[in-house]
Structure 1
C-alpha cells in the first residue's frame, strides 16, 4: 500500500511516465513498421491497430520484467545503505536525461531510428507478419522507461503495477495515434522528422523527474 505522504510523488511519476512513454512512441520504429507491413499484407485498419496494441503491450511487458529486476536490485542495495535508493534513482534519471540530450545534439536522426525496416515480401502469412511485429517490439525493452521503476521501488508492488499500466497506456496510445495518422495520409506531414526532437524532449523530461525525486528526499 502506498504511504499517503508519498502519493504526490507517485502521482507525479505516473503522469511523467505516461508522458515519456507517449513521447517515446514518436520514434518511427514504433509506428512505421506497422504502416509498411499493413500495406504489404493489405490489412484493414482494425488488423493493423490490433498488431500495434499487441506489440505495444509486449514492448511494455519486457520493459516491466527488466524494470522489476532493477527495482529488486535497488531495494536489496537499499537494505545495505539506508537512504541511498532515492538518490540513486535521481542520479540515474539525470544520467539518462543527459545522455539523451547529448545524443540529440551530436547525432543526426535516422528515419527509422535504427536499422531500416522493410515490409515483408508478398507471400508472408498474416500470422507470420503479425508475430514478427510483436517479437520486434518484445525483444527491445524501453530503456528510457527503466529509471522510473527504480524511482518507484520503495512504493511497493502496487506502485510498480500502476507505473506499468501508465507506460502501457502512453505507449499504446502514442503508437496507435501515429500509425492511424500515417495510414490516413498524414505521412505527407513527414511525421518522422519530429523524431529529431525526441531525444531532447525525453532528456529534459527525465532530468525534470530526477529533480522531482531529488527534492523529495529527506
Structure 2
C-alpha cells in the first residue's frame, strides 16, 4: 500500500506540471484582466473539479478492486502488481503528442463573462479525469476502501495545491521552462512510475 501512495503522489505532481491543466486558464485570466484573487478562486474550483472527476471514477474502480481481492487470493500479491506493470508499459510505449497551449492564442476573441469562463473550466476539468492514476485506485481497492479514500485525499492535496501554485506562478510572469518537457514526456513519466510501483508492490505491501 505504501508503494501505491508514493505512486499516486508522484503522478499527482507530474500531472499538475502539464501545461494543459493550467496554461489556458492563465491565458484567459490575462486576456480578461482578472485579479490575482479572481484567478486563484477559478484555479481552485477547476482543480477541485478535476480531482472530483478523477476520485469518483477511482472510487468505482476501488470497489472493483476490493471485489476482485475477495474472489482471488492472489490479487493483492500477483495480479494487481502485474496489472500496474502492464498499464505502465502501455503508457510508456504510447507517448502521444500533445497540443501546445500558448499564451499567444487569441483568447480575447472569445469574450465571455467571468461566470461563463468559470463554468467552462470547471466542466472541462471535471470531464477530463486523470485516467493514469485510476489503475492505482483499482489496486488500492484490494486493501479496502479506507485505503482508497486515503489515496484520494493524498491525490487531491497534491493536485489541487500543485495546479493552483502553477497558475499563480505563471500569472505573475514566472517562466516555467521545464513545463513543456513534462507535456512531451507525460506518458513515459507516467509509465515509468506505474512500472516502478508495480515492481515495488511485489515486495512492499
Shorter-chain TM-score category?
0.7 to 0.9
5+ long unaligned stretches in structure 1? 1-9
Q: By how many angstroms is 1:121 displaced?
A: 4.0
- Structure 1 pair 181–90 and aligned structure 2 pair: CA distance change class (3 A): same
CA RMSD in angstroms, aligned pairs only = 2.3
2:2 is matched with which residue: 3, 8, 11? 11
Which runs of structure 2 are paired with 1:1-218 in the superposition (5 Å)?
A: 10-104=1-95, 107-112=96-101, 119=107, 121=109, 123-187=111-175, 189=177, 191-216=179-204
Whole-Å separation in 2 of the counterparts to 1:215 and 1:26: 30
Whole-Å separation in 1 of the counterparts to 2:134 and 2:176: 33
- Structure 1 pair 38–196 and aligned structure 2 pair: CA distance change class (3 A): same
After TM superposition, the score normalised by the length of structure 1 is 0.82
Instruction: Please tell me whether the aligned partners of residues 35 and 179 of structure 1 are also in contact (alpha carbons under 8 angstroms).
Output: yes
Q: By how many angstroms is 1:130 displaced?
A: 0.8
User: Secondary structure, in 3 states, of the residue corresponding to 2:26?
Assistant: helix
Whole-Å separation in 2 of the counterparts to 1:18 and 1:188: 21
Q: By how many angstroms is 1:23 displaced?
A: 0.6
Whole-Å separation in 2 of the counterparts to 1:102 and 1:130: 35
Whole-Å separation in 1 of the counterparts to 2:24 and 2:114: 14
Whole-Å separation in 2 of the counterparts to 1:123 and 1:148: 40
Q: By how many angstroms is 1:88 displaced?
A: 2.9
User: Secondary structure, in 3 states, of the residue corresponding to 1:169?
Assistant: helix
5+ long unaligned stretches in structure 2? none
- Structure 1 pair 69–200 and aligned structure 2 pair: CA distance change class (3 A): same
Q: By how many angstroms is 1:109 displaced?
A: 4.1
